[in-house]
Structure 1
Amino acid sequence: MIEVGRQGAFSVNSVGWERRPFPLAFSVREADGLWRVRASAARAGELVDLLVAAANDAVAVVALETNSYLDADWHPLRPSLVAAELGVPCAVHPLGSWAAGVNGLGEEFLVLDRDLLPRLLDGTWSPYELALIDLPAGRSAERLDELALVLGTTGVDEPLLSRLAGSRVWFSGHDDCYAFLETSDPALPAAVLARLLTLMAGAALVEGEREPLPRVPEPDPGLAEQLIAAAPHWIGALVEAADRTGGEQLIAIDLAALPAPWRLGEPFPRRADVTATLDVRRGTWRLR
C-alpha cells in the first residue's frame, strides 16, 4: 500500500496551456544485462524506496539542484547544506574544477548510507535536477574521482553501469517529474511501472479528499511484467474514477503501446490497447 500525497507528480504537473492532465509514460530497453527505463510522472521521493531496495549499501548523490533551499542572496544551497538542513548525515567529496559542470556534475558528491536516502528525499521539497548512483564496497577519494571521470565522459545515450563495476542503480530526475533509470536489477522496471499506475490512481483518489490521505494498493508485479512483455513503450491516461452501482469504486487507466518512447507534446493515441482497473474497495487490479 502506497500513501499518495496532494503534491504527487501526477497532481502538480500538467501539459500545455490548457493544463491537461499529465499522462503516464513508461519505456524500457534491455541490453547486455542492463535495463534502461524512462518514466513519468514521478517525483524522486515517490520512487526512492524502489531505488533503495535495488541499491548497494552506499549511495552517491552526484548532482542536486533545487530552489527549495536558498541562501540569503536567493542562490541555491550546495547539496551538503541541503542535507544539513534536513538532518541527513553524509560524507562530502569535493570535485575539482575539471569536473564541476561537466555532464551535469555539481561541485561536490554526497555519500550516504542507502537507508538515509528516503530521509533526504522526503517529499517536503523538490529537486529540479537530481542524479545518484549506488556504490560498491569502498568509498575512497580515488574511487569517487574515478566515478566523476566516468560520469563526465559517458554520453547521454551510452550505458553507464557497464563502466562502473559493482554499481546496480543509476537514477536521474528532471523537474521532479521525469525519471531515467539504469539498473542491473531485472525486477526494477516492472516495479517502476507498477508504481506509476499506483500514483496515477492515487492522484484520482486524493483529488477533493480531506485527510487522511488515501493508501493505494499496488498492482501485482506480474501485471506490470505482462505489460512489458507485450510492448516496451506505453502511455496511459486516467479515464474513469467514479462510484458504480452496487458500491463499487473503480479507477480505470487506458494504456496504449507506442512504437517509441513518448515525448512531451505528443497526443494520446485514439485507441487504447488495454485498460488497467483498480477496484478500490477490494484493493485489486486487473487488465482487460
Structure 2
Amino acid sequence: MKPVVPLRFADGTPSGFNLTADILQPQPAGGVWCPAPGLARLDARELVPARNGERMLFHRGGWGFVGQDSGSAVHYGHILASDIDTSGLKFQRIDSVSGLPSVPRGKWIEARTLPWAGKGQAAGNGSACDGLSVSAMTVRVRSIPADMNYLSSRQTSSIPYAIYGDPSEDLGAREDRTRHIKYTLLEWSWINVRGGGVARALVKEGEKFFPCTDVPSIVLASVSDAQSKHHTGWVSAIYGAIPTADNGRLYGWMVSAHRHGGDPVIFHLTN
C-alpha cells in the first residue's frame, strides 16, 4: 500500500480522509482481524469504476483496530486499485476448526487482489431491483443519537445506529470529527438479517438516491443497551441505488428516517 491512500466515494471523488499505515493497527477481538499492521481491510466482492477509468475496491473501516471503540474507528471508503498491492491475504474460513472464542475460525492465504463473489451476492444482496424509481431522493447526512442502538445477532451486545447516520462526525478520532466531513453508508443488506449491515459504499451529503419501489422499507426499534433493552425510538431503512462514475448504479440499503423518543422525525432522504 502507498504511504497515503485517499478514501473515496462511489464516484471516485476523495472523501477528505486518508488511509495511512500508522492507523492500521489491528486489535484482536471477536470475529476476524487483520493479521499484521499496515494492512487495509478490503471488501473484495467487486471492482467499482472511478472517474478516470481506474478501478476501486472498498475499504472496510470501523472497529477492529487498536482502541476497539468509537474513538479509534477507522474511516470507510473506496480506494484505487493502483494505490494498493496487486496481491494480498484472503481469510479462508474452516468450519472444522474449533479454537478459542477469540481465535478466528480459519486461516489467511495469499491471493490476488481480484473480486471474489460472496455468499451474500449469490443470495441477492446488492442486486438490482425491477422497480427502480426514475425520481431521485436527496441524501441528507444526519446524526443518530448515541442511545439509539440495535442488538447483535446473539442479542448479547448493542451496536450504535450512529454508524449509519453521520459516522464521520460522531465516531472516530476527535481530530477527524472536528473536520466536519460528512458521509453516510450504503449497505449490502440491512441489520434485520444475520451478518447484515455491512457497508458497500460511502454516500456524500446531497448525493442522489434512487429508491426501489418494489422493495418494502424496514422499520426497527432502537434500544438504549443490551441489558435493559429500553426502547429509545425507531429507525427506517429503504433499498435503492446511488450513481457511480460510469453512469452505473450501486444498490443497497440506507437509513431513510429515524425518531428519537417523542422528538420529531428526522429524515435522511428527502424528495
TM-score scaled by length of structure 2? 0.26
Q: Give the greater-gyration-radius structure (CA).
A: 1
Greater share of helix: 1
TM-score scaled by length of structure 1? 0.25
Question: Taking CA–CA contacts closer than 8 Å with sequence separation of 6 or more, which of the two structures ends up with the larger relative contact order?
Answer: 1
